[in-house]
Amino acid sequence: MRRICVFCGSKPGFDPVYVEHAKALGALLAERGIGVVYGGASVGTMGAVADGALAAGGEVFGVLPEHMKRVEIAHHGLTELHIVADMHERKAKMAELSDGFLALPGGAGTLEELFEVWTWAQIDLHRKPIGLIDVGGFYQPLRVMVDHMVTEGFLRPEHRDMVAVDSDPRVLLDRFATYTPPSAGKWLPATS
């Protein structure tokens, strides 16, 4: 893996542990020689991931929509900062630059980015691994909802399992190295 896209928050969250984990993730990726692709901002856990990677000597590639550049949240110390027209182009560019996706705790934007790349994986638009870094059990309520989607017949178990979940990003990165996507597409019958 050359680069991992990290979805995370434009806010730091109330518990300092979120920023600590974001910085540590950036440093871990740099130590493993993996570049960070992210939303390009200097604020929240986004800025912390970038700062952690840069402080550890890593490469960081930001992708920021033009309207956010105007409100001066762009991170100015990045390896590369791509300015794009809008949020749709941002997500497409981040996906293009990345070999996999990790989500730290975040808000609606983080979930929107996560669900989009997860949906793209289900319909075979990409075959890249996806993981949730479950800091302090943050993603446990989402896991309950996703299990409910499986129970109610709206999501196949193999598509639920496309998203790896662990509190330790090292475990997720090790799983990424051996990731094999499911063979059945969203509309194909499940194989037994």
Q: How far apart are CA 180 and CA 75, in angstroms?
A: 34
In a domain, 184, yes or no: no
CATH assignment of the domain containing 74: 3.40.50.450
**Span 43-77, pLDDT tens digits:** 999 999 999 999 999 999 999 999 887 676 889 99
**Spans of the chain, pLDDT less than 50:** 191-192
pTM of the model: 0.93
Residue-number span of the structural domain to which 72 is assigned = 3-177
In a domain, 190, yes or no: no
In a domain, 98, yes or no: yes
What tokens does 9 get?
A: 């928050």
